[in-house]
Structure 1
Amino acid sequence: MFNKTTSPNFKDFGDITYKELDSNTSTFYKFSNKSIKNFKLTTDDNTMISVSKGVVMILVSLGINNIKSFIINRNLIIKKGVYFNFISISDEAEILISSHSNEFPLVDLEEEYTYSSISSSLNINEIYTKFYQEKGINYNFPGETHPYWELTYVDNGVLSTTVDGKDYELRQGDLIFYAPLQFHTQSTLDKNSSSYLTINFNMDFNHHELLCNKVFNLQRESYSVVSNLIKELSNDSIYSNDLALCYLKQLIIQTLRLENSYSQSRPTTHMQQTYENQLLNDIIKFINDNIDSKISVDTLCSHFCISTSMLHSLFKKNMNNTVKNYINELKLNKSKELIKSSTYTLSEISEILGFSSIHYFSKKFKSSFGVSPTEYSKSIYK
C-alpha cells in the first residue's frame, strides 16, 4: 500500500503546510518519468513543494540507500539534509519548488529506482460466443482453429480433446484453454457423456505457455466464480456483460495462480481452517461416492461425528449453499448424465438416485432445468 505525506512516517523528512507557493518566485517542473537515477539534496530548511497537476510520488532518504516513498497529498516543507526526487504516477505531472538557495546538489544512486505501476497485464476485450453444451455418447467434433481464445470447462462427465496432436482428458471441474490459431478437437467416449461450458473471447495476454497445453483442475474457491460467470452470461440485467468479463478475468487469474502455486511452498494456514477444508472435502467426496443412495443431514452427521449446526455452517461458509440443496443439485446433474448415457429408463434413474417417485423426480427436474426429463432426453437425441 502507498504511504501519504500526511503519514507520521514522513515526519523524519519534512512536514505538510497549508501555505500556498508563489508561482512568481517558485521553479516550475513538468515531468512524466517512472524512474530516477539521482537524488537532489536540500541545503536549507525552507524547501517547499506543491503539486499543481497529476499524482506525484516523492522519494526521500536521509542517505542514498534507504529510500522511502510517499504520495504527495498536501503542500510540503522538506528538511535540510534530505535527499529527494519525484516520479509521476499519472501520465504526466507538474510541481512547484520554492527554496532560498534554489540550488540542489545532485547525488547519483547506486542503482536506478523504477516505479512498478499498478496496471493490468491481462485484458479481456470482448466475449464473442458463449455456449453450454450437452453431448451424449460417441460425440465427435473433428476440430478447428480460430484467431481468438477459447475456454472449455467440464461441468459433468468426461470430454476428450486433442490439441496440436496431443490427447487430453477432462473430467468434472477440469478446465482447458485453446490459444488463437491452436488446432483442437473435442469428443466423448463410447461410455461417457459430457456437459461443458465453452467461451470464445478476445484477450491480450503474451504468456501463452502459462495457459496452453495443460488441463487445470479447479479448486473449490473457483466454483463460485464459474457459477457467477454462467449466471451473468445468461443475464440481461444492467452491467451483466461487464460483470461477466470481470468473472472471466478472475477465473483466468485464479487458474494462473493455481498453476504457479504448484512450484511454490504453500503458506501456513490457520489450524481451524485447515481442519474445515479437509472435513468439507471428505464430506463432499462421501456425497459424490454415495449419490445413488438416500443421503440425509442425519446420515452425514452420524458418519462424520459432527453436529447439524456445524455441518450447515461448513456448507454456508465455504459453499454458499445448504447441504440439502447441494445434494439435490448433485442428484439432478447426475440424472442428466444418466439420461445422456441412454442406459436406464427415467423410472430407473429416479430409483437409482433415491427420489421418492418418478413424479417427484420429474417435478424437481423441470423446476431446476425448465424442461421435463422426457423433453430433455428428446432434445439430446433429436
Structure 2
Amino acid sequence: MFIKTSNPAFKDFGDIVYDDMDFSSSHKINLNNKFIDNLKLVTNDYTFIKVTKGVVMILVSFDSNNIKSFIINRSLHIKKGIYFNFISISDEASVEVLTNTEFKSITLDNPFNYSNISSSLDISEIYTKFYQEKGTNYNFSGEKHSYWELTYVDKGELLTTIDRVSYHLKQGDLIFYAPMQFHTQSTFEKISSSYLTINFKMNFNHADLLCNKIFSLQRDSYFIVTRLIEELSNDNLYSDDLSLCYLKELIIQMLRLDNSHFHSKPTTHMQQTYENELLNDILLYIDDNIYEKISVSTLCDHFCISTSMLHSLFRKNMNNTAKNYINELKLSKSKELIRNSTHTLSEISEMLGFSSIHYFSKKFKSYFNISPTEYSKSIYN
C-alpha cells in the first residue's frame, strides 16, 4: 500500500511545505524511470521539492540501506543528512528541486526496481456460456479448440479426460481446458451432473498453473461462482462487464488457492443459505450495538449458538474471528468519530467501550500504525 508524504511517518525525513514558495530558480528534472541504482545525500538544510507533472515516488533513507518510499502529494522540505531519489509512477513525470548545494551520490548495493500495478491476465471476451444438466451415462466424445474453457460442477459428478488423462470432478470442483487441449466429458452410470461451461478468450502466460488439475472451491470462491452464474443469466445494465470481472476474480482465486489447506465447502444450498442468513444477522447485531461491550459469549447467548459454531461461521465466511472482527469494527468506528471532530479521544474511547484511553491508543496504533493523536493531526492538516 502506498503512503503519502503527508503521512506522519514521513516527518523523520522531511516536512510538508504548505506556504507558496518561489521555485523560479529551481532545477527541473524529467522522469520516466522505474529503476534507480543510486541515492543523493542532502548536505544542507535548504532542499525543497515540488512535483510539476505526473505521479512521483520519493525514496528516502538515513543510511542508503533501509529505504522507505512515499508518494509526493505536497511540496517538500528534505532534512539534512537524508538520502533520496525519485521513481516515476506515471509514464512521465517531472519535479523541481530547489537547493543551493550540489548533492553527493552513493551507489546502491541493491538497486531499487519499481513494478507497476498491472494485470498479469486479461479476459477480453466470453464466447459461450452454458448451464448443462446431463443424466446418467452421458458421453461427449471430445473436442479441442483455440480458446480457454472452464467447467464447474454445481451438482453431481463428472468424468473428464484431458489428452487421455482422466479427472473425476465432484460437486464444487472446477477444471480448466487450455487452448488446443483435447478433452472429453461424461457422467457415471448412477450419478447425473449439472455443470457450468464457459468458453472465453484470455491472454495468460502461465497456463501450467491452471491446467491438468482439479480445483475444489472454498466458500469465498463459491460466492463468486454464484454471482457469475447470476450475471451470465440476466441482461441488466453492465451484466457483461460484471461477468468478465467475476470470471477473472474466480481465476485469480484459483491461482492463489492452496488445496492442501482446503478445509470446507458448502454441502448443500440450504446449508449455505442458512449460514449466510445467520451470519448476516450477527453482523447487523454487532453493527447496531457497536457502542456496547460485545463479547463472544454475548453473541452466543443472543443467537442461541455454541462458541464453536460462531467461530466456524467467522472462520469459513469472514476469514476472521468474531473477537477480532468486533475490535476491528470498533477501531474503524473510532476513525470515523475522530474525523467528525465532535468528541475528544477520551470520550471516543469511553463511547466504544475501551477500558481506558491508554488501551484504546495502544490498540489504535497497533492496528493503524499511527496513534489517535497523530491521526487527528493528520486529518486537520
Q: Which structure has the larger Rg?
A: 1
State how far apart, in whole Å, the 2-side matches of 1:307 and 1:22 are.
Answer: 64
Deviation at 1:7, TM superposition (A): 1.4
Partner of 1:7: 7
The number of equivalent residue pairs is 285
Q: The residue matched to 1:40 in structure 2 has which SS?
A: strand
C-alpha separation in 2, matches of 1:14 and 1:104: 16
Name the structure 2 match of 1:218: 217
Instruction: Give the aligned partner of residue 156 of structure 2.
Output: 157
Q: CA deviation at 1:315?
A: 10
Matched, 1:189 2:188: yes
Structure 1 residue 172: deviation in Å?
A: 0.9
Consecutive unaligned residues of structure 1, counting only runs of 5 or more, are 267-276, 289-305, 321-382
Is residue 68 from structure 1 mapped to residue 56 from structure 2 by the alignment? Answer: no
| 1:36 is the counterpart of 2:31 | no
Determine the C-alpha separation between the residues in 2 that align with 1:25 and 1:309. 72
2: CA distance, partners of 1:315 / 1:105: 58
The 10-residue stretch of structure 1 (112-121 or 177-186) with the greater mean CA deviation from structure 2: 112-121
Distance 1:314 1:245, change over 3 A: farther
Structure 1 Cα separation of the partners of residues 310 and 238 of structure 2: 32
Q: Does the CA contact (< 8 Å) of 1:159 and 1:188 recur in 2?
A: yes
Verify the 8 A CA contact 1:137 1:192 in the aligned structure 2. Answer: yes
Deviations 1:95-152 (A, max 9, x none): 1111112x11111001111123222112211111100011112221111111111000
Query: 1:310 aligned to 2:293?
Result: no
For residues 268-294 of structure 1, give each alpha carbon's deviation from its aligned partner in whole angstroms, at most 9, with x where no partner exists.
Answer: xxxxxxxxx98x97xx58x99xxxxxx
Cα separation, 2, equivalents of 1:307 and 1:122: 46
**2:247 is the alignment partner of 1:252:** no
2:282 paired residue number: none
1:113 correspondence with 2:112: yes
**Who is 1:130 aligned against?**
129
**CA deviations over 1:26-73 (Å, ceiling 9, x no partner):** 111111111210001112211110001111110011111111111101
One-letter code aligned to 1:48: F
Aligned equivalents of 1:243, 1:125: Cα separation in 2: 12
Q: Is the 8 A contact 1:21 1:96 kept in 2?
A: no
1:27 paired residue number: 27
Q: Structure 2: how far apart are the matches of 1:144 and 1:177?
A: 14
Q: Name the CA distance, whole Å, in 1 between partners of 2:42 and 2:11.
A: 15
TM-score, with normalisation over the residues of structure 2? 0.69
Cα-to-partner distance string for 1:296-334 (whole Å, 9 max, x where unaligned): xxxxxxxxxx997539989997679xxxxxxxxxxxxxx
Q: Is the 8 A contact 1:225 1:250 kept in 2?
A: yes
CA distance in 2, matches of 1:235, 1:316: 31
Matches of 1:87 and 1:144, distance apart in 2 = 50
Residue aligning to 1:91: 91
In structure 2, how many angstroms separate the alpha carbons of the residues matched to 1:52 and 1:240? Answer: 40
Post-superposition offset of 1:176: 0.3
**Change over 3 Å in CA distance of 1:247–1:314 after alignment to 2:** farther
Q: Which runs of 4+ in 1 moved over 6 A?
A: 311-320
SS at match of 1:242: helix
Change (3 A) 1:314 1:84: closer
Find the counterpart in structure 1 of residue 45 from structure 2: 45
Alignment of 1:165-314 (within 5 A): 165-259=164-258, 262=260, 284=267, 309-310=304-305
Matched residue, 1:374: none
Alignment of 1:289-368 (within 5 A): 309-310=304-305
Q: 1:236 to 1:313 in 2, by over 3 A?
A: farther
Paired residue type of 1:310: I
Structure-2 separation of matches of 1:67 and 1:190: 64
For residues 23 and 146 of structure 2, the distance between their equivalents in structure 1, rounded to whole angstroms, comes to 55
- The 8 Å contact of residues 14 and 76 in structure 1, kept in 2 or not, is answered as yes
Question: CA 1:314/1:7 → structure 2, altered by over 3 Å: closer, same or farther?
Answer: closer
- Percent identity of paired positions between Structure 1 and Structure 2: 60
What secondary structure, in the 3-state scheme, does the structure 1 residue paired with 2:251 have?
helix
8 A contact 1:60–1:83 mirrored in 2: yes
1:140 alignment counterpart: 139
Residues in 2 aligned to 1:82 and 1:309: alpha-carbon distance in whole angstroms = 59
Shift of 1:240: 0.9
Q: Tell me how far apart the structure 2 counterparts of residues 244 and 38 of structure 1 sit (CA, whole Å).
A: 46
- Measured on the aligned residues, the alpha-carbon RMSD in Å equals 2.8
Mapped partners of 1:196, 1:40: distance in 2: 60
Structure 2: distance between partners of 1:37 and 1:188: 60
* Shift in Å, 1:8: 1.4
